[in-house]
Structure 1
Amino acid sequence: MVTTGLGPRRSAVLRLLVVAVALAGALIGGLGGAAPASAHAALTGSTPAQGSVVDHAPEQVALTFSEGVAMGDDSIRVLDPQGKRVDRGKLRNLCSDSVVKYGAGLPPGLGDGTYTVSWQAVSADSHPVSGAFTFSVGAPSKTSAAVSQQQAGGGLVGALYGVARYLAYAGFVLLVGGSAFVLACRPAASLVRSVQRLVVQGWALLTGTTVAMLLLRTPYTGSGDLADVFDLAGLQQVLVTKPGAALIARLLLLAAAALFVAVLFGTYARLQEPAKDTDDGEQDADGAGEAVEDPAERARRHRDLTFGLAGGGVVVGTGLAATWALAEHASTGLQSAVAMPVDVLHLLAVATWLGGLTALLVSLYWGPPVERAAVRRFSRIAFGSVLVLVATGVYQSWRQVGSWRALTDTAYGRLLLLKVGLVVVLVGLAWVSRRWTGRLTEARAAGDRSSAVQEGRAPADEETEGVGDARADEDREAEKAAVGAPATAGAASGPDGTPDRAADRTPDEAPDPARAAQLARQQAALRTARVKRERDGDPERLGLRRSVLAEASVAAVLLVVTTVLTATEPARTEEAVKATSGGRSTAANQPQVLTLPFDTGGPGGKGTARLDLDPGRSGSANALRLRISDASGKAVDVPEVKVSFTQKSRKIGPLPVVPKHVGKGHWRADGVQLPVPGQWQLSLLVRTSDIDQVTEFKNVKIG
């Protein structure tokens, strides 16, 4: 049995790549798992407000968002305390030029109690968002409707969709970057065949993940049930949305890409091979002389085909990149008309750099020896790609972050810092690889050297021929020893330097197929071992292999961070939501609700006061609502109520508030101004008779 010597090296490479993929998977699980909770279109307000108590049932429930969303008739659901849906089931579009607002109508005559509003939408950047809040009519009830705690886009469906998005980016990188490597770097024909497998795998990966994402859109943006993957009605609804249209366009472009790949690795690859010279008397198998193509005509065809493939490749690659730009972050928000072409350039630069890097890695470890000229061409292309990445990345960062503080105060900003750090590491490794490229020497085997002579790429000197004869003798000795033949110097040999067993057979003796197959396998193993020895014997090439492997490992992690970043709410949006809600999150944007039991000491003097201060912020015109109930919880009138606010730390107040009686047991005061945030003391006076009254105090924090 012949040992090739590739096992330990390949095992080490695979271990390093497995570590990179494992780290990538951990990032997908750790970072991507939190992605659905990061809304892209954030809820900035609602009417009625979250947690508020209104005197009468409203005519409708209205929601305001930070950016455009797609909603349907079932996107806003209002449930009564028993969980029964009570809205009219028809979405109301209340949007204006500067406000994104949708509503759901409510029927008249709704009873008192706590109502639950459950909503779900799809952001303009294709990601689903959802939430729920409650409001009360008259007084809160003891029960309220239960809603699902799972965020839209979460669970198993969300995880599968996230993995598919990552693999789609990877397929795009392999397809576009590998093709660009072949066209721009012009590697040898033997290396083109190795890159062909990589490009075809990238095409298949991108096609498969695009189909998977198209099927997963229905449960991803809806119920979250994996069984809805086969819901044809849901798929029809997906196809008319912007993300669905982008995925369909991607599939059509991939059909064109299949034709491009076929021509690139068919006609173009054949033109890359050296022309075969034939003697005047040479004939083909049919006895006819083989026509020799004119070199000038061959060069013209190669030039025209290169130009056509380059133009077609740019069109197809740009179109594929645009399917992301038109449906994700770049399509919404600030300067979208500029952001979309910039995003396309960014994606193309990433694919050219990382895809070419992967092609180089494959050739350095598993393919034929890569030429120095091809490596140097890729080094220049990678440098240009990095410049494009820096320019487009700076613009995207400014557009999505908006402020220096947001880099550390938001999840998007922290992920962006992590991405920048990985890019810096990757550029440092690329600089090391560039140094190895400058020191790279061509270490060709005798067979490769002979092929280069035949192709007109290298001179045939006596020293090279001597080396080839010595190695051919070495291979013949090993092959003969393997099959048990005597290693005689005068044994006949075939054209490739291997023993010709036909010389030892009589004309009537048939060749042994098993022995011929065994000999062929041993010859292939010996050739592979020789290439391995030559490859590892060049220290410059070995150093380049290691640095490129390190680059590829960092690039795998970088691609994961980029995928998660595109699924995270932009920092500028998050900061805008915080500013709208007075520095608090949307979930906390609710009125201050205070409950104060009291006992005036007289007959029927026990009861409870419920006070709502909406929105409960300083510098705003707050609305104060007060409800007085007796010991049984029924609303009752009392002769007098007074409210005041005091901030002792700054010696402000008491600031009196005189609420107006608006109904049995209900009082209201509008325009309540609290000048500064902080801890305030609320004072409530309740008088139940001419002589029975009490004053209760409660601390309330005002934002």
Structure 2
Amino acid sequence: MSNPAQLPPCRRAPARLVAALVLALFGLVLGAGPASAHTELLGSDPAQGAVVPTAPGEATLRFNEPIRVVTSAVHLFTAEGAELATTARAIDHRVVVDLPGAVATGTYTLAWRVISADGHPVAGALTFSVGAPSPKVTAPTLVSPTSPSLQLALGAVQALVYLAMFLAIGLVVFRQLLLPASVGTGSARDALLRVARRAADVGIAASLLVLPLTTINQRGDRLSALFEARSWEIDLSDPEPVAAILAMLGLALAVTRSARGRIQAVLPLAAGAVALGSLALVGHSRSSGPAPMVITSDVLHVLAGSVWFGGLVGLALVLRRLRAEPETALRTVDRFSMVATGLLVAVGASGTLLTWRILRSWHGFVDTSFGQTLLVKLALVAVVVVLAAINRWRLLPRLRREVGSGATGAGPAVDRLRRAVRIEGLVLVGVLAVTGVLVDRTPERPQNTSASTAPTPRATATADGITVTLELDPARVGSNAVSVSLTDGAGSALTPYAAPTLTLVHGDVRLTGLALTEHLPGTYHSESVLPKAGSWTAEVTVRTDEFDARVIPVRFRVGR
């Protein structure tokens, strides 16, 4: 048996790892700004459905969080469907649209598409009239929904970014902190660096490709636009290019060997933390609050996940090369096993908090596509946990007994453990692939299965003792009168703490901020232009007191 005193104390590795995590988290959280859970239109000027005596020089849209606009993101249509020239600019929480100076009397529709804090596009429309409403309004052609091929390509490249980055940085951490010093150069240590460099190359290429794909998605364009020069233009004031540049620089520096001495030991870890931290600069954590807690959890989640995944791949590589050195293999496995327990706790705790802040309800797991995809990820994680428990409590003790017996050379315990580690790593590849899909998927609000789906102008839904009745006239594409009635469990009219708000959703089209005017106690009226036929969801937000607000979805169909 080798003398344990020749090796650094095992506790130094977790201590160094924790220190690196804390420093990375501290820096990233300080740079993060607050954001809201969902991008919503709070109001507009002119207001939705307003009739103004003269044509306004500009229109203003007010949102609940800072937003961005992309080129050709706002369109103004006449009642006949003809488009008029406009220019738009984003100012913090507002979008200011310069309108034509002289327009004819009638109804106009302002179709908009903005980028939320988490980088996802949100679309909607505002209608107003100059002088008097038009007797007939033709539904305008809004920004096209994202094509399935673009969604597939963007999800696949995002998954590749996560997979390559987790592997490269995880292997670097494993090589720097967890691999015993007795494993010198020219063997397993060099093999780990070679694999990490290849993964970093893939991660850099994927991070670069994400930029034009994200731009195309935000514009609402087709995948073929990837070959247009404008899709490759970047604006460093946007978070996506900044995150991609940090990721590429971090990956390149993490696998470098040019540094010497103490810098050689610290630079790869610091660069890896920057690369992984860049993932939290965009995505769902930027649109959930409170920002310090959510972003800290997000950074901790990716750091712990990377060390876990990279450590498993590192173990598989090292165990193959240390078959003739079972004692060294045992020390390596012991070190990773001790750290893996803390990593599992970190991944579980941070993942739970992020899920709670993004979905906000148990129904979201089964009633939304985001929640259903998240369930797939959780199921795969559960498989990984079971495999990790088998490795920790069955296979590792066998390896200890084999080494303690004084056997020389590789035994069956090493081979069994290596196979189990490889299987665990393959399942984690599936976890990262699903994560890449989730990153590009907008967490939609859960749909109420009790809501009516019949193609009628009347639909109802009940939640938490509140029944919402929605009526539309004529319930067809174009201008519609909307009525919302609230009743309690006894069927009596319900007067909420404040007037409810209404959002109409169809795919990626969101008609937000629709003003509801009280007509009778518990009954409210509004008007809206519905641009598309098919299944819609009305999200009625009912505030029952100063602090409690409930979103009740009502599903209905719009005819042509």
Q: Per the shorter chain, which TM-score range? A: 0.5 to 0.7
- The secondary structure found in structure 2 opposite 1:440 is helix
Residue identity opposite 2:440 in structure 1: A
Q: Deviations over 1:588-613 (max 9, x none)?
A: x99955369xxxxxxxxxxxxx9964
The residue that corresponds to 2:72 in the other structure is 74
Greater relative CO, 1 or 2 (CA 8 Å, sep 6+): 2
The residue that corresponds to 2:505 in the other structure is none
Residue identity opposite 2:399 in structure 1: L
Q: Per the alignment, do residues 675 and 213 of structure 1 end up closer, same or farther by CA in structure 2, a change over 3 Å counting?
A: closer
Q: Deviations over 1:213-236 (max 9, x none)?
A: 234343232252456546556544
- The secondary structure found in structure 2 opposite 1:317 is helix
The residue that corresponds to 1:544 in the other structure is 417
Following TM superposition, by how much is the alpha carbon of 1:378 offset from its aligned partner in structure 2, in angstroms? Answer: 1.4
- The secondary structure found in structure 2 opposite 1:315 is helix
Distance 1:574 1:241 in 2: 32
Following TM superposition, by how much is the alpha carbon of 1:41 offset from its aligned partner in structure 2, in angstroms? Answer: 3.0
1:683-698 alignment to 2 at 5 Å?
A: none
1:640-679 alignment to 2 at 5 Å?
A: 671-675=518-522
- The secondary structure found in structure 1 opposite 2:484 is coil
Q: Per the alignment, do residues 208 and 366 of structure 1 end up closer, same or farther by CA in structure 2, a change over 3 Å counting?
A: farther
TM-score, with length taken from structure 1: 0.53
Q: Deviations over 1:633-677 (max 9, x none)?
A: xxxxxxxxxxxxxxxx9699xxxxxxxxxxxxxxxx974124369
Aligned length: 438
1:119-518 alignment to 2 at 5 Å?
A: 119-131=112-124, 138-141=133-136, 143-151=138-146, 154-187=147-180, 188-189=183-184, 190-222=187-219, 224-226=221-223, 228-229=225-226, 235-260=232-257, 305=261, 308-364=263-319, 371-434=329-392, 435-440=394-399
- The secondary structure found in structure 2 opposite 1:77 is strand
Following TM superposition, by how much is the alpha carbon of 1:403 offset from its aligned partner in structure 2, in angstroms? Answer: 3.7
Query: Which has the larger displacement, 363-372 or 60-69?
Result: 363-372
Contact 1:191-1:368 within 8 A present in 2 as well: no
Distance 2:294 2:360 in 1: 14
Query: Which has the larger displacement, 54-63 or 178-187?
Result: 54-63
Distance 2:433 2:41 in 1: 28
Residue identity opposite 2:397 in structure 1: G
Distance 1:437 1:377 in 2: 12
Q: Per the alignment, do residues 223 and 331 of structure 1 end up closer, same or farther by CA in structure 2, a change over 3 Å counting?
A: closer
Q: Per the alignment, do residues 318 and 140 of structure 1 end up closer, same or farther by CA in structure 2, a change over 3 Å counting?
A: farther
Establish whether residue 594 from structure 1 lines up as the match of residue 473 from structure 2.
yes
Larger helix proportion, structure 1 or 2?
1
Following TM superposition, by how much is the alpha carbon of 1:144 offset from its aligned partner in structure 2, in angstroms? Answer: 4.1
Distance 2:446 2:55 in 1: 30
Distance 1:406 1:242 in 2: 28
Q: Deviations over 1:405-455 (max 9, x none)?
A: 4444444444444333322221111011112122116989xxxxxxxxxxx
Contact 1:617-1:702 within 8 A present in 2 as well: no
Distance 1:115 1:590 in 2: 28
- The secondary structure found in structure 2 opposite 1:345 is helix
Distance 1:140 1:427 in 2: 63
Distance 2:492 2:401 in 1: 84
Q: Deviations over 1:39-73 (max 9, x none)?
A: 963556666777x5958676355545453321257
Q: Per the alignment, do residues 113 and 545 of structure 1 end up closer, same or farther by CA in structure 2, a change over 3 Å counting?
A: farther
1:21-60 alignment to 2 at 5 Å?
A: 41-43=39-41, 59=56
Residue identity opposite 1:146 in structure 2: T
Unaligned runs of 5+ in 2: 1-36, 452-459, 463-467, 494-515, 525-553
Distance 1:618 1:56 in 2: 31
Residue identity opposite 1:440 in structure 2: L
Query: Which has the larger displacement, 548-557 or 343-352?
Result: 548-557
Contact 2:76-2:86 within 8 A present in 1 as well: no
Q: Deviations over 1:481-510 (max 9, x none)?
A: xxxxxxxxxxxxxxxxxxxxxxxxxxxxxx
Q: Deviations over 1:459-497 (max 9, x none)?
A: 9xxx98xxxxxxxxxxxxxxxxxxxxxxxxxxxxxxxxx
Q: Per the alignment, do residues 147 and 568 of structure 1 end up closer, same or farther by CA in structure 2, a change over 3 Å counting?
A: closer
Following TM superposition, by how much is the alpha carbon of 1:130 offset from its aligned partner in structure 2, in angstroms? Answer: 3.1
Q: Per the alignment, do residues 326 and 594 of structure 1 end up closer, same or farther by CA in structure 2, a change over 3 Å counting?
A: closer
Contact 1:43-1:64 within 8 A present in 2 as well: yes
Calculate the aligned-residue CA RMSD, in Å: 4.4
Distance 1:325 1:375 in 2: 30
Establish whether residue 565 from structure 1 lines up as the match of residue 444 from structure 2.
no
The residue that corresponds to 2:427 in the other structure is 554
Distance 1:559 1:440 in 2: 30
Larger Rg: 1
Q: Per the alignment, do residues 66 and 550 of structure 1 end up closer, same or farther by CA in structure 2, a change over 3 Å counting?
A: farther
Q: Per the alignment, do residues 384 and 309 of structure 1 end up closer, same or farther by CA in structure 2, a change over 3 Å counting?
A: farther
TM-score, with length taken from structure 2: 0.65
Contact 1:80-1:144 within 8 A present in 2 as well: no
Unaligned runs of 5+ in 1: 1-38, 268-304, 445-458, 465-533, 597-609, 621-648, 653-668, 678-700
Residue identity opposite 1:323 in structure 2: S
Contact 1:175-1:202 within 8 A present in 2 as well: yes
Q: Deviations over 1:374-430 (max 9, x none)?
A: 122111121121122123223323332334444444444444443333222211110
Contact 1:617-1:674 within 8 A present in 2 as well: no
